[in-house]
Amino acid sequence: MANSIYLLFLLIILNLGGMPDNKLAEKELSSTRPKVAFTFDDGSTRDMPNYTLEEWNEMILASLRKHDAKAVLFANVGPLQNEKGKYVLSSWDKAGHKIANHTYTHPRFSDPKTTLEMFKTELLRNDSVIRSYPNFYQYFRFPYLKEGETKEKVEGFRSFLKEKGYKNGHVTIDASDWYIASRLVERLKENPQADVSGFRDFYIEHMYDRAVFYDGLADELTGRKIHHTILLHHNLAAAMFLDDLIAHFKEKGWQIIDADEAFKDPVFNEVPTVVPAGESLIWALAKQSGKYEKDLRYPAENGDYLKAKMDSLGL
């Protein structure tokens, strides 16, 4: 009897000792594995070559659903103030994705003609529409990722965001998916039966290349794996290639997380002091450090960087 009790006690001790080790191993794996959440800008109501709005919009939502990923749609609702626009917003909201603020008409804040007061009105006008949705998310993303060209405008709008209870919906991984999408649409207009596999491969290569670049910068700046937010747009390229893109990230060892989880990462509390302000948060922090001048370009992402390569590939 005594031996049985002793053996039982020993097993309990061994099990108790093993559990923390397992959890520690899981935590260690999680801390070294890159993580990314998907965020989308704008909101389009256009039919596309071969697809109605309802068809291609549902393709994006289906890909997110397939991979159990919850995103944020940063909507500028000026162009969405119609039945098709309401359909887009409600379809994303009903699918459980967050609806956040991207101004009403998508002005460039770094344009001297866009005053601080004008930009404040843009936020408020957009806010009055999107806050009626159950999944309203009080985050704001700057159009073109431009946060102001003077210290007065930058600090003035940051104070206004705080006053209104908003947080900056920063991007950590910036890219030029919009440029690829524009060329994809033009190709399909020319030939609805065109083989788009080259566009798909280029899209995945480009998005993943940018992810690796910004992840490397983030590693050096923070000394850890941050929770990334990648910028995509509500467009045909996302509709056709998002499933493959997410699968590619997974194959490369990345963990897909929900966007609201990503924004809880402490890195999003950073407030870069660079003026002109904006670009990816990681770009801005790297610029602020003064250590990466040879690695940084301005604007950080632009369609011009892709043109020659896409031309050479016949895309």
pLDDT digits (tens, 9 = 90+) for 38-77: 999 999 999 999 999 999 999 999 999 999 999 999 999 9
pLDDT value at residue 31: 72
| Amino acid making up residue 194 | A
pLDDT value at residue 118: 98
Q: Which residues 6+ apart lie within 8 Å of 168 measured at CB?
A: 139, 140, 141, 142, 158, 161, 268
Dump pLDDT digits (tens) for 188-217: 999 999 999 999 999 999 999 999 999 999
> Quick check: 173 and 209 in contact, CB under 8 A?
no
pLDDT value at residue 281: 98
> Quick check: 45 and 79 in contact, CB under 8 A?
yes
Q: Which residues of the chain fall below pLDDT 50?
A: 1-19, 25-26
